[in-house]
């Protein structure tokens, strides 16, 4: 899965030509995204973007993760990133992650993207379960999980690493049997 297009949004694999824009968006987002995601820091570079893109391409080829840039529907303006990752083939589930650039936060983008990814994960990829793992205190991400109808299952101790320190995280789940089909059309390209 390389591209998903839905009304107003395009999720697509990041390409070499996106590296400068990606680095600029990361640097813009250090005050908010950087609080929860250690890779988002003031020293992030274009070379770091290329390294991330290469890792994403390897994971996609191995079917272990499907990471996307979040773009406007025309595929040009980068709004953030998202993905289905930590895929367990044995147990048929994955993790769903998302982040939105600082200047575009609070506009419902993360919820829209998470809904699209969950739909693709259930209907296109056939997962039975999708987890959203949120660091303790990250209320904006918890709001997205709640809006999707994810069930809070537990607060797992030392579940995530943030700035080199273990932090507790909320484990939230979506399951296929409870997932309503999306009303919005989307096109998925493999």
User: Mean per-residue pLDDT for 8-12?
Assistant: 96
If we measure between CA atoms, which residue out of 62, 130, 61 comes closest to residue 91? 130
Confidence of residue 131 (pLDDT cuts 50, 70, 90): very high
Name the one residue in this structure whose structure tokens are 């949004």.
9
Mean pLDDT of the chain, nearest integer: 95
| Cα 98 versus chain centre, distance | 3
Whole-number Å distance between alpha carbons of 174 and 121 = 11
pLDDT value of residue 183: 63
Partnered with residue 67 across adjacent β-strands are 83
pLDDT value of residue 125: 95
* pTM: predicted TM-score of the whole model, two decimal places: 0.94
Assign 93 to helix, strand or coil. strand
The CATH number that applies at residue 156 is 3.40.630.30
Confidence of residue 190 (pLDDT cuts 50, 70, 90): confident
- pLDDT tens-digit map of 144-175: 999 999 999 999 999 999 989 999 999 999 99
- pLDDT tens-digit map of 47-91: 999 999 999 999 999 999 999 999 999 989 999 999 999 999 999
pLDDT value of residue 50: 98
| Cα 14 versus chain centre, distance | 13
pLDDT value of residue 103: 97
Domain that holds residue 11: 3-189
pLDDT value of residue 116: 95
Percent of the chain with pLDDT over 70: 98
> In the chain, how many domains are there?
1
């Amino acid at each position: 899965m390389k591209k998903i297009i839905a009304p107003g949004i395009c999720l697509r694999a990041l390409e070499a030509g996106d590296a400068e824009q990606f680095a600029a968006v990361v640097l813009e987002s250090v005050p908010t995204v950087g609080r929860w995601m250690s890779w988002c820091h003031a020293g992030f570079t274009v070379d770091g973007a290329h390294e991330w893109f290469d890792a994403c391409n390897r994971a996609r080829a191995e079917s272990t993760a499907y990471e996307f840039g979040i773009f406007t529907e025309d595929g040009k303006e980068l709004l953030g990133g998202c993905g289905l990752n930590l895929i367990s083939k044995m147990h048929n589930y994955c993790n769903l992650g998302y982040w939105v650039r600082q200047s575009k936060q609070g506009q419902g983008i993360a919820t829209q993207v998470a809904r699209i990814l969950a739909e693709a994960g259930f209907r296109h990829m056939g997962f039975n379960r999708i987890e959203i793992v949120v660091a303790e205190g990250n209320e904006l991400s918890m709001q997205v999980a709640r809006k999707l109808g994810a069930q809070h299952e537990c607060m797992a101790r030392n579940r995530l690493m943030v700035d080199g320190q273990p932090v507790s995280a909320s484990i939230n789940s979506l399951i296929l049997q409870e997932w309503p089909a999306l009303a919005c059309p989307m096109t998925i390209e493999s």
